[in-house]
Amino acid sequence: MNHYTLITGASKGIGKAIAREVAERKHNLILVARSKNLLNELATELSETGIDVQTIAIDLLNANSHTELFSEVEKRGLSVNFLVNNAGRGAYGKFYKVPLEDHLMTMQLNNEVMVRMAYEFIARNKGKEHRCYLLNTASTASYQPVPKMSVYAASKAFMLFFSQGIRFELRKSNISVSALCPGPTESQFFEPAKMDKIWNDNKKYLMSAESVARIAVNGTLKRKAVIIPGLFNKLGAVGAKLAPQNLATAMSGMLFKG
């Protein structure tokens, strides 16, 4: 049976770049996002590489979307051996000024949906003869509190620790779990998060989504536990771990002051 890489949040940003990177390696793809039009455009582009590209337009915030998604995959007779949990969101601003619903949606998509997707993937693949890979897109924000993005950073910290925990549980199995922790990246994340000014002030320091994707896929296939693209981001993550938490928080607060 041919295996497929399933990518959530595949229509834009890092997810789209990972899809292109995977396509270059001749892996079949299942692209998942809300926008059917954007998915179809990307599928048409990537099909030219000679791989099979399937699309499933679904809002992962809907109840039971994860079971509907995997049921559709099985209905089509497809086998997923590489899951990229990339769909995510964030809201920028002082916690008490951002609508509570925005915070709850961030926690739901970044955490609950990610856990549900991981659970379904593991249940369907553990003990199989083929090698399987699970990649969760966290962030360098997971290494310290981030004022004005407190819920986002906390949700990414959850993703990082969750990934490391289940990785250890699955260490003797056929499933390898990795966490991707990119720093600020050129993508569409900043616009819905209302961070245009920060993007403009710091765009010369941003990594390209293509660079992040290449490092992410290489690291995942090499079964790395944590993948931090870029030397500056690696140093920042180490510094955040070594520095007193108050100092790390203050420094991240200065970076995201807007």
Task: Quote the CA–CA distance of 229 and 180 in Å, as a whole number.
Answer: 8
Instruction: Check pLDDT > 70 for residue 197.
Output: no
H or E segment at 151? Answer: helix 150-169
Task: Quote the CA–CA distance of 125 and 131 in Å, as a whole number.
Answer: 9
Across the range 25-45, mean pLDDT stands at: 97
Structural domain containing residue 71: 3-255
Please tell me the predicted confidence (pLDDT) of residue 45. 98
What digits encode the pLDDT tens for the residues 69-125? Answer: 999 999 999 999 999 999 999 999 999 999 999 999 999 999 999 999 999 999 999
What domain count does the chain have?
A: 1
Task: Quote the CA–CA distance of 16 and 80 in Å, as a whole number.
Answer: 18
Task: Quote the CA–CA distance of 20 and 214 in Å, as a whole number.
Answer: 9
Task: Assign residue 177 the CATH number of its domain.
Answer: 3.40.50.720
165-193 per-residue burial string, b: 16 or more CB within 10 A, e: under 16: ebbeebeeeebbbbbbbbbbbbbebbeeb
Sheet holding 132-137, edge to edge: 53-57, 28-33, 3-8, 79-85, 132-137, 175-180, 226-227
Residue for token digits 């509570």? 100
What digits encode the pLDDT tens for the residues 54-67? Answer: 999 999 999 999 99
Q: What are phi and psi of 227, to 5 degrees?
A: -120, 115
Instruction: Check pLDDT > 90 for residue 153.
Output: yes
